[in-house]
Chain A
């Protein structure tokens, strides 16, 4: 697929970089003139995916998170990748309220938020190898309830 624009960043898997990832994506998609809601939807989805890589993929330990973003016409494509522990059962992990870490006060809503705030979310993962979350959202569409 040919994108009009693309960018990629790699950063250390530390909590401070959750805000960094949101800021980078916001700046990159600004040219598409997203409304406040669309901007917030994308920032939230990115925050969920990046946080998952940091706290689940790498268990808050050493690691690098990679974020790629592409734009084609009015559609934003985002990929967040880690080389962490991977997800054994993706369907289960994506169920609303499922969390692998009930001890950490997680609500188990990260994937649910990504799915409801973005048009499409795909997850690929291999145990011991890592996880890749791919998300798509078209800018300028009316919000469907």
Chain B
């Protein structure tokens, strides 16, 4: 699984490399939750600039983390979306609750 974590103050940056499908999301969720609990952050930013495929499992994964951060009084944001990913974010209505930023730096600054 190609996933890496970086901490920016109160924010966990989750960088993914490769396709986000149900197989990946199932493994990634546990890894992200463990890391979020360990670091105690209240915000999560997904860096998706190295992802060119995502299906509904990715939507589920992001909504799940959104709920987690909401509970902590924080936010979940995404950055670096390709056209393919933008399309699925729009179709799912996810853009209404999850902020989309051009870059991780913008996202981390904003949350």
Interface of A with B (CB < 8 Å)? 15-16, 18-19, 22, 36-37, 40, 43-44, 47-48, 51, 54-55, 104-107, 109-110, 112-113, 116
Contact = CB atoms under 8 A, between A and B. Distances in A.
Contact of B59 (A15, A40, A54, A109): A109
13 contacts: A36-B83, A37-B84, A40-B52, A40-B84, A40-B87, A44-B55, A44-B88, A47-B22, A105-B63, A107-B63, A109-B92, A112-B91, A116-B91
Nearest to A112: B91
Nearest to B29: A105
Contact of B55 (A16, A48, A54, A116): A48
B105 interface: no
Nearest to A15: B23
Contacts of A40: 52-53, 84, 87
A51 to B, nearest CB: 5
Contacts of B22: 15, 18, 47, 51, 54-55
Interface of B: 19, 21-23, 26, 29, 52-53, 55-57, 59-61, 63-64, 83-84, 87-88, 91-92
Contacts of B23: 15-16, 18-19
Contacts of B19: 19, 22
A19 B26 CA distance: 14
Nearest to B92: A109
Contacts of A105: 29, 60-61, 63-64
A18 B21 contact: yes
A98 B22 CA distance: 17
B83 A107 contact: no
